[in-house]
Amino acid sequence: MSTKSRVIQGSAVLAALLALTDAACSGPGTMTSAAGPGAHRISLLSVGMFAIAAFVFLVVVCFLAYGLFHRRRDADTQEPNLEDHGGTRMVLLGGIAFPIVVLITLFVITLVALQAQANEDTGSHAFTINVIAHRWWWEFQYPTQGIDTANEVHIPTGQPVLMEVTSTDVIHSFWVPRLQRKVDAIPGRTNEVTLQADTDGTYLGECSEFCGLQHAHMRFNVIAESADAFNAWVADQQKAAPEPTGDALQGQQVFLGSSCVYCHSITGTNASGTVGPNLTHVASRTTLASGTIPNTPDELAAWIENPQSIKPGTQMPASGLTSTQLRQLVAYLETLS
């Protein structure tokens, strides 16, 4: 094969790899499609490190190629002689000086990124959200606004919000790839991380530390919206649950008369359990069971009837309700928007 066709073939392979990388590096759960200052910084650092590594690789390959072809021509006529070929200088420059410069550069850019991250977390924030990881769902408490919600966190676009992350059971990890680095949720400890989105949108979050059977079903949504939309959401969430009537009233009695109340809270009722998500505004959320199923009346009924069939291992037991009770309970929960 001629050198020219080798070059063409090499270029085609490189182009295919780049296209593949591009396809793999976009999407809702990809940190390279950064949408917030934290993720931008991580993305920049990754690209910088990749560029340096690629440069080092190229230099090594060039020297290797030179060595191979050069040696092949004069191998018959003379023995290799390090002195004659400038071997000592090569060892000093390529083996010691060059790696030191590269490693120091990597060290410095990492330190700069770490410092920027620390400044961000200790800087000023619009407000604080307490993030509490449970097996297998996320609780979001807004102490300033007096809101307690689950698996869906609203933030105002363009404003830094401080997330104080902890866990009630095992170690989880809080991660919104397009917005920020991951941070461990550790029982008995609080770790801080700043969340900020550049533009309105829904950003996928996930648990990034294996925490048991339903680790993969521990997703959440970060909804970044305009200050007006955010304030409207806050006002809605602060409202008490409406007084139920008809089927919904029957459903409320089913709820309050069953074991639901030991694990769930609904503001304005006697239900004040903290094991499972607060249900005061459950109908306003887009998913159930931490991103496992969409929040529709049918899915909700199926979930209450037999949670283990949808999310094996979940702490929620089957309800054992009659079909009428189940219908009434769903009618009640659907009023909690």
Binding track, positions 78-117, relative to ligand CUA; x by CB under 6 A: ----------------------------------------
Binding-residue total with ligand CUA (CB under 6 A): 9
Parallel, antiparallel, or unpaired for β 293-294 and 287-288? antiparallel
C-alpha distances in Å from residue 22, one per residue of 12, 18, 27, 34, 38: 15, 6, 10, 14, 21
Looking at the Cβ atoms of 131 and 155, the one nearer to ligand CUA is 131
Burial class from Cβ neighbours inside 10 Å (0-12, 13-18, 19+) for residue 145 reads middle
Among residues 236, 282, 234, the alpha carbon closest in space to that of 255 is found at: 282
Looking at the Cβ atoms of 133 and 254, the one nearer to ligand CUA is 133
CB of 317 to ligand CUA, least distance (A): 20
Its sign, for the CA torsion 26, 30, 32, 34, is positive
Region from 97-105, 191-199, 209-217, 312-320 binding ligand CUA, contact rule CB under 6 A: 209-217
Among positions 148, 209, 217, 292, the unique one binding ligand CUA when judged by CB under 6 A? 209
Region from 43-51, 70-78, 204-212, 264-272 binding ligand CUA, contact rule CB under 6 A: 204-212
Question: Which tokens belong to 26?
Answer: 């976009």
Binding track, positions 156-195, relative to ligand CUA; x by CB under 6 A: ----------------x-----------------------
Looking at the DSSP bridge assignments, the partners of residue 325 are none
Region from 31-39, 44-52, 205-213, 282-290 binding ligand CUA, contact rule CB under 6 A: 205-213
CB of 143 to ligand CUA, least distance (A): 23
CB of 90 to ligand CUA, least distance (A): 49
Looking at the Cβ atoms of 136 and 203, the one nearer to ligand CUA is 136
Looking at the Cβ atoms of 120 and 209, the one nearer to ligand CUA is 209
Parallel, antiparallel, or unpaired for β 152-156 and 147-150? unpaired
Count of CA atoms in the C-beta half-sphere (13 A) of 136: 26
Q: Which residues 116-155 are close enough to bind ligand CUA by CB under 6 A?
A: 133, 136
**Amino acid found at 86:** G
- Dist CA 7 CA 224 (whole Å): 47
- Dist CA 97 CA 86 (whole Å): 15
Looking at the Cβ atoms of 37 and 205, the one nearer to ligand CUA is 205
Region from 63-71, 150-158, 203-211, 234-242 binding ligand CUA, contact rule CB under 6 A: 203-211
Region from 76-84, 122-130, 206-214, 322-330 binding ligand CUA, contact rule CB under 6 A: 206-214
Among residues 154, 249, 164, the alpha carbon closest in space to that of 205 is found at: 154
**Amino acid found at 54:** A
Binding track, positions 215-234, relative to ligand CUA; x by CB under 6 A: x--x----------------
Looking at the Cβ atoms of 129 and 211, the one nearer to ligand CUA is 211
Binding track, positions 231-250, relative to ligand CUA; x by CB under 6 A: --------------------
Measured torsion, CA atoms of residues 123, 129, 133, 137, in degrees rounded to the nearest 10: -140
CB of 264 to ligand CUA, least distance (A): 20
DSSP assignments along 259-316, one per residue = GGGGT-B-TTSS-B--SS---TTGGGSSEETTTTEE--HHHHHHHHH-HHHHSTT-SP
49 phi and psi angles, rounded to 5 deg: -65, -40
Among positions 55, 107, 210, 262, the unique one binding ligand CUA when judged by CB under 6 A? 210
- Dist CA 245 CA 31 (whole Å): 47
CA R_g for the chain: 28
Q: Which residues bind ligand CUA (CB under 6 A)?
A: 133, 136, 172, 207, 209-211, 215, 218
